[in-house]
Structure formats: structure tokens, C-alpha cells
């Protein structure tokens, strides 16, 4: 199917969906003159629609001539609708920014397609979809979730959960080294693929907004949508986003992993969650979470930003736990 046709929807395809992940924000932009690769429209063949984000539709596609090792590759195509001058400039800036990001735990950006309409960005395709759905599909409650079917992998083990957390931490170490602030780190914004017999987890730069995640965001001022359940007090009260606020969010990501994808403060409304966070209450320790991991979470949730753990230390401690997983019981002491 040629680029621009109307492929079948993701509901018909059964493929996992991506979710919206706002742009990274950066204080220092290195390698400004790095060239953005341009991909010919005739090299892209759409397979089906994965969903629709705030700026356009996202498709699964085959793309030729991306790699000398492969004739065709599966990719995700993020299109831009309503390409006026302002959105075109934003598109160009985002492409330049994404070109800079080169890391094994950041979703790979291949380039842009700008010869004709719609404008499009080309990313690697992660076959298992977003991490939140993956966690739910491999958790103890998978059998009661109608939208997921338990894949052959079965329920995730402690070593696998530690490995997932370590890969996300690795990607965040890289972003922090470039002075990037993510602002929306969550399992819904990480993607899962295969790596040999194991799993590869990457922080995503694109996706789609799905109804399943609408309750993860709190509408402020009519338009702005904030992921308040993942935000520290200073971000909620003063809209201050820093590397330290990303650390807080990483602690919540750890909590998500060890609850198999539950929503933080799931028993509370958004306004009640805001009250809990700003008053200093913490998420409860997950039943399957070793005390060593819970200590990491608590180190991420220090009220004073400068007292929070740094991502390099978190990554190192997770790697140590991967090499020598702690023993835990499904009983909280």
C-alpha cells in the first residue's frame, strides 16, 4: 500500500499501540549541524494504522534502503497533519533534536519524509508495543484484562523486572548527560522489543494518545494535559521541570514495573492524588518489590530536589541487583 493510502486500523490488525509522548526538552543542544536523513516516499509502504496522536496518525510500514544489512525494515511512521508554517518549523526542530539522540535505550529515529504530503518521521518499530500494556499482559491479573492475551513469556520474574528498570535508567543516564529533561517519563512512554532471547526496552519519542491512558493526564487551563501522578511537588505547584523532576518520575516508573502496570494512586481522583503528593505521602511499597528497590523509589521521592538520588547511581545500583537479584517474599514486613 503506497504512502498516503488508507490502511486498516490497529483494531483490525491486533498490533500493540503506541501512546503519545511529548517532546524532550533540552538546555544544551549539541551537534546542531548534524544532518537529518531524508527518506524517499516511494521507499515507504504502509501496512496499517496504529493510531492517532495529537499531531497526526501513526502507521506501521515497511521501509526500503534504510540499512545495508536488510532489504526492507518494519518501521513506525509518525505523520504531521495540518502542516502550516509554524508546525513545519516545529517538525524541523524536532527532527534535528531526535537526530542527536543515539543510544541503545532510546527509540531510534531514522529520518524524515518531506517530498510531498503528509510530512512524516520514521522510527524503529518495537513489536511488543508500550511497556505499560506489556507489564499488564505479563502480570498476575492478565487473565482478567480483556484487551490483553498472555503471550508465551508468562508472568515477569524479578530478574526480568530489574532488567527492564535498568534499561530505562540507562536511557535516562544518556538524556541527563545531554542536559535533556523528559517531562513525561512513564511506562506508557517506553517501548518493548526483542533482543535475542531477551527483551529490549527503550524510551520512546513518539506515539499516540489512546483512550486507555486518558486518565493518566490532568487537564489544566482547558488545553494543557499534565501527568500529575508522575510529577513531584515542585512540578505540580510551580510547573518546574528539571533533571531532578525526571528522577521523581523514574521512581514512579519503578513502582509501575513492580505493580505490573498499575496506575499510581489508582484508588484516588486526580485532585486527591495532587493533595497526597504535595502533602508528602508516598506510594505504598508493591507486594513483589524487594526492600532494595523500594529504597531506590524512596530516594527518588525526596521532597527537596537536590536530595534525590542521581540517575547514574540509580543505574549502577540496578545493575548490581540484576547481577545478584535479592530474595523477596510476597509478604510486606
Closest CA to 190 of 172, 217, 177: 172
Residue 55, marked binder = yes
Residue 85, marked binder = no
Distance, in Å, from the CA atom of 76 to the CA atom of 127, rounded to the nearest integer, reads 10
Residue 51, marked binder = yes
Residue 84, marked binder = no
Residue 128, marked binder = yes
Residue 130, marked binder = yes
Residue 116, marked binder = no
- Sheet architecture: strand order including 44-52: 44-52, 57-67, 70-80, 119-124, 109-113
Cell 506515539 belongs to which residue?
207
4 phi, psi to nearest 5 deg: 115, -15
Residue 53, marked binder = yes
Residues serving a catalytic function are: 184
- Using N-to-C axis directions, what is the helix angle for 158-177 and 311-323, rounded to 10°? 150
Distance, in Å, from the CA atom of 233 to the CA atom of 224, rounded to the nearest integer, reads 18
Residue 206, marked binder = no
Residue 126, marked binder = yes
Cell 504530503 belongs to which residue?
117
Any residues with CB less than 8 A from the CB of 100 and at least 6 apart, and which?
A: 29, 30, 31, 34, 178
42 phi, psi to nearest 5 deg: -70, -15
Residue 205, marked binder = yes
Residue 188, marked binder = yes
Name the binding residues for Mg(2+). Answer: 189, 205
Name the binding residues for ATP. Answer: 51-58, 78, 124-130, 188
Name the binding residues. Answer: 51-58, 78, 124-130, 188-189, 205
Amino acid at each position: 500500500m503506497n504512502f498516503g493510502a488508507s490502511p486498516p486500523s490497529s483494531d483490525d490488525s491486533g498490533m500493540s499501540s503506541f501512546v503519545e509522548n511529548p517532546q524532550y526538552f533540552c538546555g544544551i543542544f549539541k551537534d546542531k549541524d548534524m544532518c537529518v536523513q531524508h527518506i524517499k516516499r516511494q521507499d515507504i509502504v504502509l501496512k496499517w494504522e496504529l493510531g492517532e496522536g495529537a499531531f497526526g496518525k501513526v502507521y506501521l510500514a515497511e521501509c526500503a534502503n534504510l540499512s545495508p544489512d536488510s532489504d526492507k525494515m518494519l518501521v513506525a511512521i509518525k505523520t504531521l497533519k495540518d502542516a502550516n508554517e509554524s508546525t513545519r518549523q516545529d517538525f524541523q526542530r524536532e527532527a534535528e533534536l531526535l537526530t542527536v539522540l543515539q543510544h541503545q535505550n532510546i527509540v531510534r529515529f531514522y529520518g524524515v519524509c518531506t517530498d510531498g504530503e503528509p510530512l512524516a518521521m520514521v522510527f524503529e518499530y518495537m513489536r511488543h508495543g508500550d511497556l505499560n500494556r506489556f507489564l499488564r499482559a505479563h502480570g498476575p491479573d492478565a487473565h482478567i484484562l480483556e484487551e490483553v492475551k498472555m503471550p508465551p513469556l508468562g508472568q515477569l520474574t524479578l530478574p526480568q523486572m530489574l532488567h527492564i528498570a535498568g534499561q530505562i535508567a540507562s536511557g535516562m543516564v544518556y538524556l541527563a548527560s545531554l542536559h535533556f529533561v523528559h517531562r513525561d517519563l512513564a511506562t506508557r512512554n517506553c517501548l518493548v522489543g526483542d533482543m535475542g532471547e531477551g527483551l529490549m526496552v527503550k524510551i520512546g519519542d513518539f506515539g499516540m494518545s489512546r483512550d486507555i491512558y486518558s486518565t493518566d493526564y490532568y487537564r489544566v487551563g482547558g488545553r494543557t494535559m499534565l501527568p500529575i501522578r508522575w510529577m513531584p511537588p515542585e512540578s505540580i505547584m510551580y510547573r518546574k521541570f528539571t533533571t531532578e523532576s525526571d528522577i521523581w518520575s523514574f521512581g514512579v516508573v519503578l513502582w509501575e514495573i513492580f505493580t505490573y502496570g498499575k496506575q499510581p494512586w489508582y484508588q484516588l481522583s486526580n485532585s486527591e492524588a495532587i493533595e497526597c503528593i504535595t502533602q508528602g505521602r508516598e506510594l505504598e511499597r508493591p507486594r513483589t518489590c524487594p526492600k532494595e528497590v523500594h529504597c531506590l523509589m524512596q530516594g527518588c521521592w525526596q521532597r527537596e530536589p537536590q536530595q534525590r538520588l542521581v540517575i547514574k547511581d540509580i543505574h549502577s545500583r540496578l545493575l548490581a541487583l540484576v547481577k545478584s537479584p535479592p530474595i523477596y517474599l510476597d509478604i510486606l514486613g
